Amino acid sequence: MKNVLLTLTAAALLSGAALAAPVKLQTVPVTLEPSARLLTLNDAGIAKAFPSSASRPEAVFVTEDLKVTVAFDWREAPLATPGVTEVTNRFAANLRSQVPNLKTVRSAVVQVGGQPWGQIIFTTPGQGDDRRVEMLLTSAGGRLLVVTIASNVKDYSRNENVVRNLASSLRVN
């Protein structure tokens, strides 16, 4: 992730500070309220940060210090709203068995914008600081919508208010 963030330093890859008014994402059925302390990656920035088109998210925000990314991925996998709990439990169990050196993993189903979201937070060892990844999973248009918040633990702590405010403003269209 550190290398990914270093590639984002070129100003041409950023669309600029987001406004505090609600914003409907163009390629993902989500409306949210980004902070002026979040930058939006444009298509070139997303392609540079996520070189593999197979794992490239549709939309990405990054904190102004370029330390925390919030990526939106609307997958082709089918998911109905009643299946959010099952998918969350299954995903958390798979993490425990498939991620080497997994330090912690927590999962729950939370309500955001009147909709159930699976929340999975896990940490893995990193260079100098542990890596923290939070995944929010829900159904959008009958498909799986994944929001991934990734950073080092310390960087997340410094940016937690901005990231939590963004996450709590999510509304599926």
Query: Distance between CA atoms of 11 and 121, rounded to whole angstroms?
Result: 30
Tokens coding 141? 């248009």
DSSP character at residue 131:
E
Q: Which of 2-6, 82-86, 92-96, 111-115 has the lowest mean pLDDT?
A: 2-6
Q: Based on the number of CB atoms within 10 Å of its own CB, is 146 exposed (0-12), middle (13-18) or buried (19 or more)?
A: buried
Can you give the pLDDT at residue 80?
94
Q: What is the pLDDT of residues 19-75, one digit of tens each?
A: 457 899 988 999 999 899 999 999 999 999 999 988 899 999 999 999 999 999 999
pTM over 0.75: yes
Instruction: Classify domain 23-172 at the CATH class level.
Output: alpha beta
Spatial contact of 103 and 126, defined as CB atoms under 8 Å apart = no
User: pLDDT exceeding 70 applies to what percent of the chain?
Assistant: 88
Q: What is the pLDDT of residues 120-171, one digit of tens each?
A: 999 999 989 999 999 999 999 999 999 999 999 999 999 999 999 999 999 9
Residue-range domain boundaries for the chain: 23-172
Higher pLDDT among residues 153 and 4, named by residue: 153
